[in-house]
């Protein structure tokens, strides 16, 4: 079942989403060579708590931190550690916050100092693919339309669209129905309705689309060690289109 949120639930989800967006903005100036991912995690934890929310990811299936920090060939679910960011890295930061029982979820990939032209291209196209996916959303559209739009856009650049991980509904649970794949067939899949809230989150590799699980049983890495980017927004489906709840 795909939940339809009431106006009051939507108010709470707007606040949860705003806190996630503000946490991203809070972290951004710290994303520089020399900072450790654990330091970023602590900054995020404090900011989320101070905002009256709790970090959605902490203890989710035993996840040990507040945010996910995935560097270079790490696709998603990198665990914050004492690793220091280096100039030329890209880092995907995934943040979830729960406000009065409702979640917001958003990931963004940041450059660390000056990065290669290839990595810049990867970030630009992955961010754009998120908007390509979002732009087809409105009441009456289908979930397959989203993945189709993302894959169609990415195909032009010969990048790898990860299939093993997908977007999802968001609400009182961080992950709700429906699954929102980043590939698909137009006119297929569940019908979107006004009041649904979903997270769209393309994960795109500079190389092949293959990924595998790292030794820590959390970190997903690319099969060919190529860099990977991840952009995610939680959005409300409206009659005419959509509203981004996790605006930065």
Binding interface with Co ion (CB under 5 A): 105, 199
Binding mask 102-141 for ligand MF3 (x = CB under 6 A): ---x------------------------------------
Query: Is 41 a residue that touches ligand MF3 (CB under 6 A)?
Result: no
Q: Which of 80, 78, 87, 79 is nearest to 32 (CA)?
A: 87
Partner in contact with 242, chosen from Co ion, ligand MF3, none, beta carbon below 5 to 8 Å by kind: none
| Site track for ligand MF3 across 165-204, x = CB under 6 A | ----------------------------------x-----
Q: Which residues contact 132 (CB under 8 A, 6 or more apart)?
A: 149, 150, 152, 153
Q: Do 131 and 179 contact (CB within 8 A), yes or no?
A: no
24 is in the binding site of which of ligand MF3, Co ion, none (Cβ under 5 to 8 A by kind)? none
Q: Which residues pair with 97 in a beta bridge?
A: 55, 104
Q: Which residues contact 78 (CB under 8 A, 6 or more apart)?
A: 37, 68, 69, 70, 71, 92, 218, 219
Give the one residue of 17, 21, 96, 133 binding ligand MF3; rule: CB under 6 A.
96
> How far apart (Å, rounded) are the C-alpha atoms in residues 221 and 218?
10
**Which is nearer to ligand MF3, 8 or 41 (by Cβ)?**
41
C-beta closer to ligand MF3: residue 30 or 60:
60
CB of 1 to ligand MF3, least distance (A): 19
The yes or no reply on residue 94 touching ligand MF3 (CB under 6 A) is yes
What, of ligand MF3, Co ion, none, does residue 237 touch, CB below 5 to 8 Å by kind?
none
Binding of ligand MF3 by 57 (CB under 6 A): yes
Rg, C-alpha atoms of the chain: 17
CA dist list (Å): 69 to 2, 9, 37, 72, 170: 29, 29, 6, 10, 21
- Closer to Co ion by CB, 127 or 224: give it: 127
> Is the Cβ of residue 31 or residue 174 nearer to ligand MF3 in the bound state?
174
Q: Name the 3-class secondary structure at 107.
A: strand
d(CA 203, CA 95): 15
Question: For residues 78 and 227, which CB has a smaller minimum distance to ligand MF3 in the complex?
Answer: 78
Contacting positions for ligand MF3 (CB under 6 A): 57, 60-61, 63, 68, 77, 94, 96, 105, 199
């Amino acid at each position: 079942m795909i939940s339809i949120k009431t106006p009051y639930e939507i108010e709470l989800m707007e606040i949860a989403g705003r806190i996630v967006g503000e946490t991203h903005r809070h972290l951004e100036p710290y994303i520089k060579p020399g900072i450790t991912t654990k330091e970023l995690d602590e900054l995020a934890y404090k900011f989320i708590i101070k905002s009256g929310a709790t970090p959605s990811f902490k203890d989710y299936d035993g996840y040990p931190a507040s945010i996910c920090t995935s560097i270079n060939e790490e696709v998603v679910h990198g665990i914050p550690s004492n690793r220091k960011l280096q100039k030329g890295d890209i880092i995907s930061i995934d943040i979830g916050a729960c406000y009065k029982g409702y979640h917001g979820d958003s990931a963004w990939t940041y450059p660390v100092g000056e990065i290669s032209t290839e990595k810049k291209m990867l970030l630009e196209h992955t961010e754009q693919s998120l908007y390509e996916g979002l732009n087809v959303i409105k009441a009456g559209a289908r979930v397959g339309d989203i993945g189709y739009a993302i894959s169609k856009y990415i195909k032009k650049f010969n990048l790898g669209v990860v299939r093993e991980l997908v977007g999802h509904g968001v609400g009182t649970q961080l992950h709700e129905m429906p699954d929102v794949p980043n590939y698909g067939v137009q006119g297929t899949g569940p019908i979107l309705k006004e009041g649904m809230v979903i997270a769209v989150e393309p994960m795109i590799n500079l190389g092949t689309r293959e990924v595998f699980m790292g030794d820590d049983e959390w970190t997903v890495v690319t099969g060919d060690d190529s860099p990977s980017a991840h952009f995610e927004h939680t959005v409300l489906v409206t009659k005419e289109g959509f509203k981004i709840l996790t605006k930065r």
